[in-house]
Structure 1
Amino acid sequence: MGNLNFTAVLLGAVAFFVLGVLWYTILFGGAWGRLTGIGDEMASRGNTIGGRPMRRNPTWLVLTLCFAFELLISLTLGHQYAMTGPSDRAKMMIAFGYGAMLLTPGIGIMYLFQMRPGKLFAIDAAYLTAGTTLLGAIHCWLD
């Protein structure tokens, strides 16, 4: 498995998670809420989205699963670094590439079939690209 830096994996996931909190509250929370129908509008309608009943997902469960997914992304990135031993420049290129060239097209395909707005795609894709780039920076700093 190479010399996997578990500290970088964990702190990278924490940084990715914190970026998500800021991204979907302070930075783009209002626009994201309007585009998804989640937020103040949902609260005024009750427990529905688009007139359909919404399953009750406790906030702690949603946030825990988000962190687990971000941890998995960080672990995958850390494993690639451990196996290939890239320079810091290459680490940053790989990290950016994860977000821009793997995660972004993946959600793009789903959003096309779900007919979601382009602005929502831009918010979510930019978050994933910024988050994976931040992961790369954390790994460079700690490796």
Structure 2
Amino acid sequence: MENINWIALVVAALSTLVIGFLWYGPLFGKAWMKETGITEAQAQKGMPLRFGLSVVLAFIAIFFIYATSVITGGMPPDEVHSINNPQFHTFGHGVIHGIGAALFIAMPVLVTNALFEQKSFKYILINVGYWIVTFAIMGGIVNAWV
């Protein structure tokens, strides 16, 4: 783990803010606010704290993606995808790992919570879609920037 590219991890974590700005702003902001039942004024409250915590949490998530796709590729002990095998260090390959993490880890958690909170299908699509895109971009960044 001594070869970790901390800059790539930080950039990937910060990318969540850019994607979130677009996703929950011009792309799906109005629909998301309608589905959550909050107003724009409510959404603006406490933004610095939410941004800060979300970057910390994104850093934890990207560290997991990095560990499973770049360091081991999720395939120990033969290390087929390991840091020693650069043919897998592409943006596209990282996108695949990011999408896998989103579909097999984030999506089940988000959908289960939304079902018990009795949220709409549109709400689920907006939030799960965000994490699929975000994990894909984060995975691409860290895989290409080894």
Q: Kindly, what percent of the aligned residue pairs are identical?
A: 23
Determine the structure 1 residue equivalent to 2:77. Answer: none
Instruction: Give the structure-1-normalised TM-score.
Output: 0.81
Residues 59-78 of structure 1: matches in 2 within 5 Å? 59-78=47-66
Determine the structure 1 residue equivalent to 2:109. Answer: 106
Distance 1:135 1:92, change over 3 A: same
Cα pair 1:13 1:71 within 8 Å, conserved:
yes
Residue 2 (structure 1) shift = 5.5
Distance 1:3 1:82, change over 3 A: farther
CA-based RMSD of the aligned residues comes to 1.8
Q: CA separation in 2, counterparts of 1:21 and 1:91?
A: 22
- 1:79 pairs, out of 53, 62, 67, with 67
Q: CA separation in 1, counterparts of 2:53 and 2:7?
A: 20
Determine the structure 2 residue equivalent to 1:92. Answer: 95
Residue 90 (structure 1) shift = 4.3
Q: Say which structure, 1 or 2, has more relative contact order (CA 8 Å, 6+ apart).
A: 1
**Structure 1 gap ranges (5+):** 48-56
1:39 aligns with 2:45: no
**Structure 2 gap ranges (5+):** 74-81
Cα pair 2:93 2:140 within 8 Å, conserved:
no
- After TM superposition, the runs of 4+ consecutive aligned structure 1 residues lying more than 6 A away are none
